Amino acid sequence: MAIWIVIGASRGIGLEWVKQILARGNTVFATVRDHTKASQLWTLSGSAPRMSCQLLECDVSSEDSIIRFANDIAAMRNLDRIDHVIVNAGILNYPNRATELSFEDFSNHLRTNAVGPIITAQKLLQTRIPIGTITFMSSDSGCATDFHAFEDGFAAYAASKAALNQMLRHMAAELQRTKVYTTILAMHPGEVATDMLNISVGWEVDGIISAEQSVAAMLPVVESKTIKDSGTFWTWEGLQHPW
């Protein structure tokens, strides 16, 4: 039985991670930013075996909230290892064009999609509980070498995921240098039918998949990675993604 943490699990891909982790008989600490607005996760945790799904709060756009969450994890008695962490929380305020967007909108994308995820991982690492893998839900939008010029309206989102990618590569290299054996991964979940695409963007995307399909494919990819893979980027189908 493996121990997982999923950051940003109230709905969409994060909620599906929790569902599939539990279905495999594992334990999961699932976070939401506001536990009063996580009815689907409450229902799921209520039907899971006792203590196998525990809800915690973590708003990745707030340093105080991240620290409180990491302290909650550090205070867990008998938690002597964490096998996998999925840093899933993210926002997309569509459209966010470079020629139009506000200072605040750009900052919010960076704060929630890059700064918060990296600091959350950092604070978990600082608990000194051994962690097997930390996987960040990145995006093909953040790929710097395969510029998605057709993605009109995604400039700040793409820049925030590119910043996330660059930071997680540094995190992987720094951990290797200091002989901390946590595998750091980036993953593109595919184009997934969630609120982010259906409501935020509101138009049809080619090759769209369900959250169930996406997570069912990503889960064995995460489980198969070892320290030699740290600092790599993967597609939901298990193919290496260019940076």
Among 85, 197, 218, 221, binds ligand NDP (CB under 6 A): 197
Q: What distance in Å separates the CA atoms of residue 14 and residue 94, rounded to the nearest whole number?
A: 20
Measured CA distances, 234 to 184, 213, 221, 239 (Å): 11, 16, 8, 6
In this structure, the strands spanning 183-188 and 232-235 are: parallel
Strands of the sheet containing 3-7, edge to edge, are: 53-57, 27-32, 3-7, 82-87, 131-137, 183-188, 232-235
Among 174, 195, 223, 237, binds ligand NDP (CB under 6 A): 195
| DSSP run (H or E) holding 87 | strand 82-87
158, 106 contact by CB (below 8 A): no
Residue placing its CB nearer to ligand NDP in the complex, 190 or 231: 190
Burial of 103 (0-12, 13-18, 19+ CB in 10 A): exposed
Residue placing its CB nearer to ligand NDP in the complex, 112 or 165: 112
Answer yes or no whether residue 120 interacts with ligand NDP by CB under 6 A: no
| Angle, alpha carbons 142-145-147 (nearest 5°) | 65
Answer yes or no whether residue 196 interacts with ligand NDP by CB under 6 A: yes
138, 233 contact by CB (below 8 A): yes
Among 8, 134, 171, 183, binds ligand NDP (CB under 6 A): 8
Q: Using alpha carbons, select from 237, 96, 217 the residue that is nearest to residue 160.
A: 96
Type of residue found at 73: I
Answer yes or no whether residue 14 interacts with ligand NDP by CB under 6 A: yes
Min dist CB 59 to ligand NDP, Å, is 4
Min dist CB 62 to ligand NDP, Å, is 7
Answer yes or no whether residue 192 interacts with ligand NDP by CB under 6 A: yes
Min dist CB 43 to ligand NDP, Å, is 14
Residue placing its CB nearer to ligand NDP in the complex, 155 or 192: 192
Among 3, 5, 60, 215, binds ligand NDP (CB under 6 A): 60
Answer yes or no whether residue 61 interacts with ligand NDP by CB under 6 A: yes
Answer yes or no whether residue 112 interacts with ligand NDP by CB under 6 A: yes
Answer yes or no whether residue 72 interacts with ligand NDP by CB under 6 A: no
List residues binding ligand NDP (CB under 6 A).
Answer: 8, 10-14, 32-34, 58-61, 88-91, 112, 137, 139, 188-189, 191-192, 194-197
